[in-house]
Structure 1
Amino acid sequence: MKRFSGLLSAAALAAGLALAAAPAMAQQQLPPMPKVKQSTPAAIAAAKEILTMKNVAVMYSGAVPGIIEKTKTGLLQQYLNYQKDLDEVAVIVAKQFAGSEKEIGDGMAQIYAAEFTEQELKDLVTFYKTPLGQKLLTAEPTAINGSLQYMQQWAQQFGVIVNGQFKAEMKKRGKDI
């Protein structure tokens, strides 16, 4: 079961924003990645174990192919007559960078290890192995997905109320909108 499939919509939004900027960023100097506090190898290993138990790799597993496709599409808009070549080059580039998304997981583990002490991470690993921890790993994505859906529905309904209030206030001013 893909434990974090419920988070894919949020992750897709973030990835979409990143992917949309990929062709433009390729033409400019990129800022360095943010520095993360150095942690012990044991803390990083525990963080990786937690991330594996949470199956977060599903959130970024398509990052490399997605960025390659988005870059190819951006280049095609500029060089339409090179479609065949760009299609062929995309395959070469995909093979060259296959597995690069592992860097995302390593970076996430570094961030977790910087936010929690080594002992806290070990305690979390222990917790996630308990029946309640296993239930959390299984049920949390559903709860998060349901919460996201609820927030979207609430925002839609609230938007209708706010729109009605705008119309009422404008009507008081003699302006029907």
Structure 2
Amino acid sequence: MKGYSAILSAAGLAAILALSVVPAMAQAPKQAAPAAPAAKKPPPSPAAISAAREFLVLKNVGAMFGGAVPGVVDQTRNALTQQHLNYQKDLSEVAVIVARNFAGRENEIGEGMAQIYATEFSEQELRDLVTFYKTPLGQKLLTHEPRAISGSMGWMNQWAQEFGVKVNDAFKDEMKKRNKPI
């Protein structure tokens, strides 16, 4: 799980959180067309939230967001340092203080995830998932799935590179037919 968590944590979560935390440093987002109203679901029960927490612990999702606070602090410090090069030393010192002041806030991510899972799955479904992940097959899935996902991602990247060459060649062939070689 560590390999999968490291990939998600480093590559995805820190970037997503950093981009959402420092909106003043990016362009204002474009207004999206209003989505169709979703059917209101009743709020999840405390028992469903508890089952969701247990499921998320079994899935070790805490490893995904364990470094979220330091990651966001570092991303923010780096962005501010690029804008204020003369404050680099001060910003590095302040980053330590800010990280210490916000330590533990990553637990909010886990609570939010538990709320979402408890909304998407019934209490019984979550209990069934917990039961499954405690079985030998569930335990095997927990241990082997990260490698399977990592291997799949590597294979997809290799495929995309090889396919990209074929697509590029097809573009060249078609442009050549138009007497516009590229």
Work out the CA distance in 2 between the residues paired with 1:121 and 1:17.
27
Report the CA distance between 1:91 and its aligned residue: 1.1
Q: For residue 3 of structure 2, what is the amino acid of its counterpart?
A: S
What CA RMSD, in Å, does the superposition of the two structures yield over aligned residues? 2.4
For 2:104 and 2:17, how far apart are their aligned partners in 1?
A: 18
In the alignment, which residue of structure 1 is the partner of 2:14? Answer: 15
Task: Name stretches of at least 5 consecutive residues in structure 2 with no aligned partner.
Answer: 29-39
Alignment of 1:91-110 (within 5 A): 91-110=96-115
Equivalent of 1:54 in 53, 59, 64: 59
Give ranges in structure 1 of 5+ residues lacking alignment: 30-34
| Cα offset, 1:135, TM superposition | 0.9
Retained in 2: the 8 A contact 1:22–1:70? no
Contact 2:8–2:64, Cα closer than 8 Å, also in 1: no
Report Cα offsets for 1:53-101 as digits up to 9, x if no partner. Answer: 1111111111111111111122222222222222221111111000110
The 5-angstrom pairing of residues 1-177 of structure 1 reads 3=1, 5-6=3-4, 8-11=6-9, 12-25=11-24, 38-177=43-182
- Tell me the distance in 2 between the aligned counterparts of 1:28 and 1:176: 38
Deviations 1:88-133 (A, max 9, x none): 2111111100011001111111111111000010011111111111
Name 1:32's counterpart in structure 2.
none
Give the Å deviation of 1:140.
1.2
CA spacing shift, 1:160–1:20, aligned 2, 3 Å: same
Paired-residue identity, %: 59
User: Which letter maps to 2:79?
Assistant: G
For these two proteins, the number of residue pairs brought into alignment is 170
Normalising by structure 1, we get a TM-score of: 0.85
CA contact (8 A) 1:7 1:145 kept: no
Residue 37 of structure 2 corresponds to none
